[in-house]
């Protein structure tokens, strides 16, 4: 009897809960189902309110991303440097003191960076580093430091790997190289020139030291002994060592090794042929050499006219003036060409002095505008 009573009370409780739930469901207002083929007007009405993102409660984490814009109206220099490159050079058996294949590959990667960023108007490279000058009015990526830094390093590294087999066809890449990057701001043209002068002086110092060091190493001197012999020496001591012991005149070594590589664009209006931004062009030295080799043309450039032609020309009637009232055609004034700003044109590679103002900086005023 007790079991039956409990069963009845249980079912009655279950029924009451079911009724309460059903009443709540029935009380909930349901939205009418959309028509099967809504008109364009009603369709536009349905899409005016954007749907709420399911993860909107997590969007607050974006507030931790702090803005990092570069100071406006300043020159930005981005320097890319090889990370643990001594180990990389040893693993891939680079020639010492200079491996022209590796230097050419660095130039190719730097050229790719300039092709990607028109606002980069100058690049200077030596050994395993490259410095890129960005115009002071550049607005790429909103001048965000982190974005510029990471993208330049990424473009340089990826192109170094991409073109590796072109410059090292017989040397497989054993592991990927890495390059770090930093951005330094300079307020005026003076600091920019001093920066690139500093890097070229560093090129000369490092190359002279490495030339002496590896000359000693190739002569059978150990690394420790070679380091001791060169410790505390100056440029004149090193030059004397090269000449007296190895009959090498440092001044006769290639400018490529002594002065590094300079990448700039040339005005396409002054370049013969198509003017594509990524098309290589001749260096200024080659242009000057070709101009010097051009023979001078003596005499008048006006073609000679025979006597018969002169008579025919003299007897030909002179065209009369147009009748009065005829409207004259207005001559369109030619617009003056815009000054070259270094953002377009063929990219050329130079091995020249950038410490002195002339001729490099004086011939390219747009670099420091």
| Cis peptide bond prior to 359, omega within 30° of 0 | yes
Binding site annotation covers 127?
yes
**DSSP letter at 359?**
I
Residue 177's contacts (CB-CB under 8 Å, 6 or more residues apart) are: 82, 83, 85, 88, 157, 160, 161
d(CA 1, CA 23): 33
Residue 276's contacts (CB-CB under 8 Å, 6 or more residues apart) are: 346
Quickly tell me which residue has 């709540």 as its tokens.
24
Supply angle C-alpha 202, 194, 277, rounded to 5.
90
In terms of C-beta distances under 8 Å and separation of at least 24 residues, what long-range contacts does 357-366 make, across chains too? Answer: 357/193, 360/262, 361/193, 363/284, 364/264, 366/121, 366/339, 366/340, 366/341, 366/342
CB atoms within 10 A of CB 147: 14
Binding site annotation covers 82?
yes
Mapped onto helix, strand or coil, the DSSP state of residue 144 is strand
**In 165-222, which ranges are E strands?**
179-186
Could you give phi then psi for residue 76, rounded to 5 degrees?
A: -110, 130
Instruction: Indicate the annotated binding residues.
Output: 81-82, 127-128
Instruction: Indicate the annotated binding residues for GTP.
Output: 127-128
Instruction: Indicate the annotated binding residues for Mg(2+).
Output: 81-82, 128
């Amino acid at each position: 009897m007790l079991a039956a009573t409990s069963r009845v009370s249980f079912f009655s409780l279950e029924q009451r809960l079911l009724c309460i739930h059903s009443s709540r469901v029935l009380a909930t207002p349901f939205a009418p189902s959309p028509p099967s083929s809504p008109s364009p007007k009603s369709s536009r009405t349905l899409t005016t309110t954007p749907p709420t993102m399911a993860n909107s409660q997590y969007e607050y984490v974006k507030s931790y991303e702090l803005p990092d814009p570069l100071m406006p109206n300043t020159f930005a220099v981005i320097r890319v440097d090889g990370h643990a490159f001594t180990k990389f050079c040893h693993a891939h058996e680079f020639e010492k003191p200079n491996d022209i294949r590796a230097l050419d590959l660095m130039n190719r990667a730097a050229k790719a960076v300039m092709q990607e960023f028109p606002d980069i108007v100058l690049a200077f490279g030596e050994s395993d580093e490259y410095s890129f000058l960005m115009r002071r009015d550049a607005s790429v990526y909103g001048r965000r430091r982190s974005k510029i830094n990471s993208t330049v390093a990424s473009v340089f590294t990826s192109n170094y790997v991409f073109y590796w087999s072109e410059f090292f066809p017989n040397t497989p890449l054993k592991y990927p190289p890495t390059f770090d990057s930093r951005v330094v701001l300079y307020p005026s043209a003076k600091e920019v020139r001093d920066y690139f002068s500093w890097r070229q002086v560093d090129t000369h110092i490092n190359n002279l030291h490495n030339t002496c060091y590896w000359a000693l190493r190739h002569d059978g001197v150990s690394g420790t002994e070679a380091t001791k012999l060169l410790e505390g020496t100056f440029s004149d001591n090193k030059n004397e060592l090269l000449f007296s012991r190895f009959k090498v005149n440092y001044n006769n070594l290639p400018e490529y090794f002594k002065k590094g590589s300079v990448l700039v664009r040339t005005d396409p209006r002054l370049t013969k042929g198509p003017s594509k931004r990524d098309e290589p062009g001749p260096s200024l030295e080659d242009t000057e050499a070709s101009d010097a080799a051009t023979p001078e043309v003596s005499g008048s450039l006006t073609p000679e006219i025979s006597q018969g032609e002169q008579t025919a020309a003299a007897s030909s009637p002179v065209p009369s003036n147009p009748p009065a009232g005829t409207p004259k055609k207005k001559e369109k004034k030619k617009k003056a060409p815009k000054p070259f700003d270094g953002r377009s044109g063929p990219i050329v590679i130079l091995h020249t002095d950038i410490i002195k103002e002339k001729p490099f900086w004086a011939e390219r005023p747009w670099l420091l505008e």
